[in-house]
Amino acid sequence: MRGRPDEATPSQDSELQEELQGMEARVRKMRNTRNSFSDQARTIADKRNTVQGQYKEHREKIDLVMAEMKAIRAEIKILKEKRNAIQQQLREIINQAKGRRDEKGEKKSATAEYAKLRHDVRSLETTFETSSVGQKKEKEMIKQIKEMTLRIKELAPEVTHFEMINVDLSDMDSAIKILRSEADAAHKEMLEAVARADLLSPEVDEAFSHRDFLKAEGDRLHTEFLELRQKSDDMHNKITELMVDVNKVRDKLNMARDERKSWMTDHNALIKAEMKTGAESPEVADGLVSTLLESGGITFGGIGQGDSGSSSKRKAKSGKKKSMRKLDMTASRRR
């Protein structure tokens, strides 16, 4: 029977085949593991991106809350400075009412100096308009008024900034009463602002606490994502290394199969060539003719000498049988 190229794998390749199947099974398992790591990494990345989006939105909320808190604190600072300035002005006026002199080297507050200069200017102007003084004294008074007016202009921005109260120093009791009332009002406004800041403070603390939580959660998820990606990459590298060995085994099996296929093909071609008849192949016909010629010759139609003798014997035997039948027939008629 002819051989076929696709016949069963010879026993010598069974070990390679088993090794290849085992390696391919390991590769499939490792690929599944790698894909699992990649899927987990993508899931963690989605969670991380969601948390980071929440963190960004929460930062905008914190900016709004902090802007409100900063505005309140700025208001508290202004009210505190205003209260302190009025209290300083009040202390200096009280000291003046008690007849105390300013200590040497002690710096007056802007509000006290501003109020005193305005009072002195009004007094000089009244004296200048209502009294008769000499020319020299008049020049001195005009010079003092100009100097005081210039100083008042210098102090005006600072006094206006703190919204100082202008009082009439000629009536000390009334001035002290007004300043105390204004200082108490400024202090009350400051306390109200402090209360608003205290009320807002828990919201600020909660906002910062939630911000820290979102940041920590985002960092944790990002770290987990990097770890999973690293595991996936490591598994991919192992698969790549293993595939080198898999390809080597495949190459060995393919070489063995190609060799067997080539041998079977050549063998079948040889068998087919040997089984050809003279009608199918000119070479076989020529060989047969040469063989017959060497054996003693051929007659027309391809019959040899031996074939001719056998034919003559068969004819002679056939004629003898025919004569015997004729004799038998003649004898039967006579009877």
What's the pTM? Answer: 0.49
pLDDT score, position 233 = 92
pLDDT score, position 100 = 47
**Token pair of 297, please?**
């010759």
pLDDT score, position 252 = 81
Mean pLDDT by groups of 10 residues along the chain of 335 residues: 47 73 88 92 93 92 92 92 83 66 51 72 77 75 82 72 54 77 89 92 92 93 94 91 86 78 72 62 66 62 51 50 49 45
pLDDT score, position 262 = 76
Q: Which of 147, 144, 116 is nearest to 128 (CA)?
A: 144
**Token pair of 137, please?**
């004294």
pLDDT score, position 160 = 57
pLDDT score, position 255 = 81
pLDDT score, position 330 = 47
pLDDT score, position 159 = 59
